[in-house]
């Protein structure tokens, strides 16, 4: 019996029942042997260890998985605001929206992400298909187009993606995070949809008021052409490209060292690359490079440079050239880009989360963190089509976790009062035994579409009802009392001014609607 | 060399590059042996098999995982409408919202779902924590409350959940599906929050216009009390409860058989249960059962019955008793309920998806499919709290996949034109070489917040621009031509009536805004 009791003490909740069931056979045995007891004790101690030892309580870890987080109501209110801005922009540009499952067949993701494939989350093989969590929204989009034989669409997709990366959550880097993607698929005239993607990034980052930003633009064909004319062997293009991609986090010296020492590139080739990747400019730079004796030898580079020129001419019409820079050091990690690539970075270190937790002072003004990126990927849909039919695509992905982090910090810094509900009126009573009257009135309000609340107590104190309004930012209180009921009125109180006015019961809905639509 | 060529033929896209790399060593070996060739051939054939055999194209399956689906733009438009109705209702009742990760630590879900635990999706162990996809939103909510020591909150959460069930997708049953949850946590007076949950179900199902519905109500304490007074042994409560839960899909005869034959219940006990579970009514039934000589012996049952009475009195004030039935056969599957439980079913077989694909004519009017369910779970948060502190909770979950299916069918049946974008105006041109002018005007419109589109072609045909407007339901076209540019006007065309009017360039934005705000 003691055994049972001591065991029960280790457990709580549902587990108690199971353990009791486990122990029962022990009692039903009349002539129990020492060996049998030892065996049972061992079993129970094992069970105890599983349950967390001697602490007398559950010992499981109460947390979200590594690299993930909950959003509390305040964070959700900020998130909703950001989403509304982004969706508003996507809709203004005429995008439809689609949704795809959170997981895909494993093979759908295979061979699309280069070295980053190791970061894909796989599901356990529980029988049936092998599945992986989506790594981005671009590959599912391409799969969707091929599967439904869609050759042109302008769509946005806002959803969570998953990467088994080493999270740096203070910098807004998570393993589960939202992407807000806008893509244009279809055979169109060069650079018009590409320019619209940049216009969208410009509109969204301006509207969110995150401080100054810069949109870097380059082209995979220019990079490849540059590698060719600098003497990089064909089979080293991708790996040298990855190294160039680190220029926003590493100095040129370190990048060069990686090229030469780790990747075996000749020092001469590296130095030639070094001259190009330090170049930044606008349409003029593209024109200059078209005249560059070395660069102009590459047909690919010339095609890319002509398109950059065309792109800038459209960007001028879109009135966004103030933030766009043609930057030859921009490379981007993903395998599937085939043409224009771009990346937006916030340049105001003050508001950016990276500046706060950087270990290295020198970095402070360098890497403020990319908040959007994208480019042209004309080959990806063809990889899914059984006949290899290509659908040219260009798109952009807004990474909002960093944006959230910044907006949260801003809200905190300003000590902004963020409302987490939209309640317009609280139905309250000053006296006891008026629950029924309160429920009757709140029903009328709900049925009329008014956002209203009532306390779930039979006899709440007026003070606690008013306090709730202050805390939650509810602007009005509809107060019922014996006198009001007798007079056929409701006392309407404005929380901010404490002003009170009796409104006839018949007019109370229209009066509340009038007052809250004013605000 | 032939070997290389034939191999390359099997492949396409990125895989080509890899295979070529794979074959290269063969050529660099000068004195190759037959055995070596055989070995290489074997390797290549294996590679070929992996790539899909002789078909000369990629053979991977182009599909979404079993039990999942994409949402196309039309489906998304319907989904958005449904969500807006539901969120509108949740906000009207003053709920905040939260979000939690799509996966939880595996142990967080352990021991919460009874027999259904086998349907949980686990992630592959790739090092680090063991994770599972969330099975519902209730357990993550309880984990969130315990983790943040929150003792009262009214929140909604709309997100996807995952169950490795056998999907019946034509009936709107999927492995990945949305739940829209509304829950009230806190120590309040009995039945007030519970009644509000039912009010919410009533409001949402009425607003969605899905035809008639019924909300069945019962209480776990009444079920347990009933089992006790009918002579069901304590340790059979849960399993007999699961069998009772099948009464909406099976006849009483079959349910009784399962109780007696499979679960070893005495026939006498089963018959007594049979008498109770056929009972349906309202407050009157609860009163009658409180007088029932057998039922009244159970304290638990009496507590449940008194609460049902109280619940109905609040439901009267909320004006929803027309749809609510106290039904003793309602059991609900999940382990964690401790008090009131409820489930909403659509009763109009005509619009319900089940009626269409049922094999068994007799079923047709029985199981139209549950679209919402919930109840009180006062013990769940305590299972997560290190000190076992309880937070009473009650909530409801709206399952919208079935609702989507019905709305989709309705839209199809009515041949409704569902708009998938909100574009107000298309900027078009009648002549060539006006791309720049179009881009200039569309930029003005975007910057003024007008939803506008332009074709991504240098010289699109006017007809194809007008056709796009017809198809996409865009109401206005702003047409630019040489004459209009000369006159400083824009030709505004109403797509529906083909009426055209010249508007001065300076007034075009306000004119478009005026016309589209009218609609």
Tell me the per-residue pLDDT of B114-144, one tens digit each, with 9 for 90 and over: 778 899 999 999 999 999 999 999 999 999 9
| Nearest-by-Cβ selection for B70 from A129, A144, A192 | A144
Q: Residue A364 has what pLDDT?
A: 35
| Contact residues on chain A for B162, CB-CB shorter than 8 A | 102
| Nearest-by-Cβ selection for B189 from A12, A318, A456 | A456
Q: What's the CA dihedral at A479, A485, A490, A491 to 10 degrees?
A: -50
Q: Give the pair of three-digit tokens for residue B305.
A: 């019955």
In this prediction, residue B30 has a pLDDT band, given cuts at 50, 70 and 90, of very low
The answer on whether A179 is annotated among ligand-binding residues is yes
Q: Residue A318 has what pLDDT?
A: 98
| Contact (CB<8Å) A105/B71 | no
| Contact (CB<8Å) A21/B235 | yes
Q: Is B505 on the interface with A (CB under 8 A)?
A: no
| Contact (CB<8Å) A63/B147 | yes
Q: Is A447 on the interface with B (CB under 8 A)?
A: yes
| Contact (CB<8Å) B451/A91 | yes
Q: How far apart are CA A100 and CA B218, in angstroms?
A: 37
Lowest model confidence (mean pLDDT) among B55-64, B157-166, B467-476: B55-64
| Contact residues on chain A for B475, CB-CB shorter than 8 A | none
Number of A–B residue contacts, CB under 8 Å: 269
Q: Residue B56 has what pLDDT?
A: 41
| Burial of A408 from C-beta contacts in 10 A (0-12 / 13-18 / 19+) | middle
Q: Give the pair of three-digit tokens for residue B98.
A: 């939260």
Average pLDDT value over all residues in chain B: 87
| Contact residues on chain B for A317, CB-CB shorter than 8 A | 436, 439-440, 443
Choose from A97, A383, A400 for mutation: most chain B CBs within 10 A. Answer: A97
Q: How far apart are CA A385 and CA A151, in angstroms?
A: 11
> Using an 8 Å Cβ cutoff, are B451 and A91 in contact?
yes
| Minimum CA–CA partner of A127 in chain B | B164
| Contact (CB<8Å) A192/B456 | yes
B223-260 pLDDT tens trace: 999 999 999 999 999 889 989 988 988 999 999 999 99
| Nearest-by-Cβ selection for B62 from A143, A382, A450 | A143
Contacts with A, B 200-219, CB within 8 Å: 203
* Shortest Cα distance, chain B CAs vs residue A109, angstroms: 11
* Phi, psi (rounded to 5 degrees) for A83: -60, -45
Q: Is A193 on the interface with B (CB under 8 A)?
A: yes
| Minimum CA–CA partner of A459 in chain B | B189
Q: Residue B55 has what pLDDT?
A: 45
| Minimum CA–CA partner of A384 in chain B | B62
| Minimum CA–CA partner of A147 in chain B | B62
Q: Give the pair of three-digit tokens for residue B404.
A: 């989507």
Binding residues of B for L-histidine: 136-138, 163, 179, 183, 332, 336-337
Q: Is A25 on the interface with B (CB under 8 A)?
A: no
Q: Residue A115 has what pLDDT?
A: 74
B425-468 pLDDT tens trace: 999 998 999 999 999 999 999 999 999 999 999 999 999 999 99
| Contact (CB<8Å) A105/B65 | yes
Q: Is B108 on the interface with A (CB under 8 A)?
A: yes
Total residues found in chain A within this entry? 519
| Contact (CB<8Å) B105/A61 | yes
Q: Using DSSP bridges, classify how beta strands B280-281 and B324-327 pair: parallel, antiparallel or unpaired.
A: antiparallel
| Nearest-by-Cβ selection for B92 from A72, A317, A449 | A449
| Minimum CA–CA partner of A390 in chain B | B13
β-sheet bridge partners, residue B155 = B96, B183
| Contact (CB<8Å) A68/B447 | no
| Contact (CB<8Å) B93/A453 | yes
Q: Give the pair of three-digit tokens for residue A262.
A: 């780790």
Per-run averaged pLDDT (10 residues), chain A, 519 residues: 36 36 41 63 59 49 94 95 97 98 96 86 95 97 97 97 83 88 97 98 96 96 96 91 88 95 95 95 96 96 98 98 96 88 84 41 47 96 93 96 87 84 96 96 97 97 95 96 96 96 96 84
Q: Using DSSP bridges, classify how beta strands B324-327 and B213-219 pair: parallel, antiparallel or unpaired.
A: parallel
* Shortest Cα distance, chain A CAs vs residue B314, angstroms: 8
Distances (CA, A) of A118 to A110, A154, A379, B103: 10, 31, 22, 19
CA angle, A80 as apex, A75 and A81 as ends, to 5°? Answer: 100
Tell me, what's the ipTM? 0.84
Choose from B133, B456, B459, B513 for mutation: most chain A CBs within 10 A. Answer: B456
* Shortest Cα distance, chain B CAs vs residue A379, angstroms: 8
Choose from A24, A92, A314 for mutation: most chain B CBs within 10 A. Answer: A92
Distances (CA, A) of A352 to A83, A210, A211, A400, A416: 19, 9, 9, 13, 19
β-sheet bridge partners, residue B370 = B345
B460-517 pLDDT tens trace: 999 999 999 999 999 999 999 999 999 999 999 999 999 999 999 999 999 999 999 8
- Kindly list the domain boundaries of chain A, sorted by start residue: 2-55, 73-413, 425-518
Arithmetic mean of pLDDT, B153-161: 98
Q: Is B256 on the interface with A (CB under 8 A)?
A: no
The answer on whether A402 is annotated among ligand-binding residues is no
| Contact (CB<8Å) A148/B72 | yes
The answer on whether A175 is annotated among ligand-binding residues is no
* Shortest Cα distance, chain A CAs vs residue B11, angstroms: 11
Task: Considering the domain delimited by A73-413, tell me its CATH architecture.
Answer: 2-Layer Sandwich (3.30)
> Using an 8 Å Cβ cutoff, are B160 and A97 in contact?
no
| Contact (CB<8Å) B456/A93 | no
In this prediction, residue B381 has a pLDDT band, given cuts at 50, 70 and 90, of very high
Task: Considering the domain delimited by A425-518, tell me its CATH architecture.
Answer: 3-Layer(aba) Sandwich (3.40)
| Contact (CB<8Å) B126/A164 | yes
Q: What percent of chain B has pLDDT over 70?
A: 84
| Nearest-by-Cβ selection for B99 from A76, A123, A440 | A76
Residue B107: which residues within 8 A CB-CB, separation 6 or more?
A: A60, A61, B130
Q: What is the 3-state secondary structure (H, E, C) of B360-415?
A: CHHHHHCCCCEEEEEEECCCHHHHHCCCCCCCCEEEEEEEHHHHHHHHHHHHHHCC
Lowest model confidence (mean pLDDT) among A230-234, B29-33, B300-304, B388-392: B29-33
Sign of the CA dihedral with A379 first, then A381, A384, and A389 last? negative
């Amino acid at each position: 019996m003691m055994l049972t009791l001591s065991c029960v003490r280790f457990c709580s909740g549902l587990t108690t029942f199971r353990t009791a069931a486990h122990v029962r056979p022990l009692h039903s045995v009349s002539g129990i042997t020492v060996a049998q007891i030892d065996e049972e004790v061992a079993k129970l101690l094992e069970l105890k260890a599983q349950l967390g030892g001697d602490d007398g309580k559950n010992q499981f870890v109460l947390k979200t998985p590594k690299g993930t987080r909950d959003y509390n109501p305040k964070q959700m209110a900020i998130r909703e605001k950001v989403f509304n801005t982004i969706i508003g922009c996507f809709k203004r540009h005429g995008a439809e929206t689609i949704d795809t499952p959170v997981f895909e067949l494993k093979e759908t993701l295979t061979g699309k992400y280069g070295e980053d494939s190791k970061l894909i989350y796989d599901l356990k093989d529980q029988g049936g298909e092998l599945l992986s969590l989506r790594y981005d929204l671009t590959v599912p989009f391409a799969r969707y187009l091929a599967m439904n034989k869609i050759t042109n669409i302008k769509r946005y997709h806002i959803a969570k993606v998953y990467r088994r990366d080493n999270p740096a959550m203070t910098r807004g880097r998570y393993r589960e995070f939202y992407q807000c993607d806008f893509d244009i698929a279809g055979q169109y005239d060069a650079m018009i949809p590409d320019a619209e993607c940049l216009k969208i990034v410009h509109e969204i980052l301006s509207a969110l008021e995150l401080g100054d930003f810069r949109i870097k633009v380059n082209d995979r064909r220019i990079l490849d052409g540059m590698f060719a004319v600098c003497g990089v062997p064909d089979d080293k293009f991708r790996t040298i490209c990855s190294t160039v991609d680190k220029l926003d986090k590493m100095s040129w010296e370190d990048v060069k060292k990686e090229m030469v020492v780790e990747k075996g590139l000749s020092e001469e080739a590296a130095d030639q690359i070094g001259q190009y990747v330090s170049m930044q400019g606008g349409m003029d730079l593209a024109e200059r490079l078209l005249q560059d004796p070395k660069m102009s030898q590459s047909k690919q580079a010339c095609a890319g440079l002509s398109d950059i020129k065309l792109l800038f001419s459209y960007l001028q019409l879109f009135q966004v050239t103030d933030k766009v820079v043609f930057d030859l050091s921009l490379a981007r990690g993903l395998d599937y880009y085939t043409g224009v690539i771009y990346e937006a970075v916030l340049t105001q270190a003050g508001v950016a989360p990276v500046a706060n937790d950087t270990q290295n002072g020198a970095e402070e003004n360098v890497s403020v963190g990319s908040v959007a990126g994208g480019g042209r990927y004309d080959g990806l849909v063809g990889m899914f089509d059984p006949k290899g039919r290509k659908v040219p695509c260009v798109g952009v992905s807004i990474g909002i976790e960093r944006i959230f982090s910044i907006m949260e910090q801003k809200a905190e810094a300003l000590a902004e009062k963020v409302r987490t509900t939209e309640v317009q009126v609280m139905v309250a009573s000053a006296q006891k035994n008026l629950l029924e009257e309160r429920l009757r009135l709140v029903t009328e309000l709900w049925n009329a579409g008014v956002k209203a609340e009532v306390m779930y107590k039979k006899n709440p104190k007026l003070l606690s009802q008013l306090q709730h309004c202050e805390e939650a930012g509810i602007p009005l209180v509809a107060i019922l009392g014996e006198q009001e009921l007798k007079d056929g009125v409701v006392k309407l109180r404005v929380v901010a001014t404490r002003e009170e006015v009796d409104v006839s019961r018949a007019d109370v809905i229209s009066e509340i609607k009038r007052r809250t639509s004013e605000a």
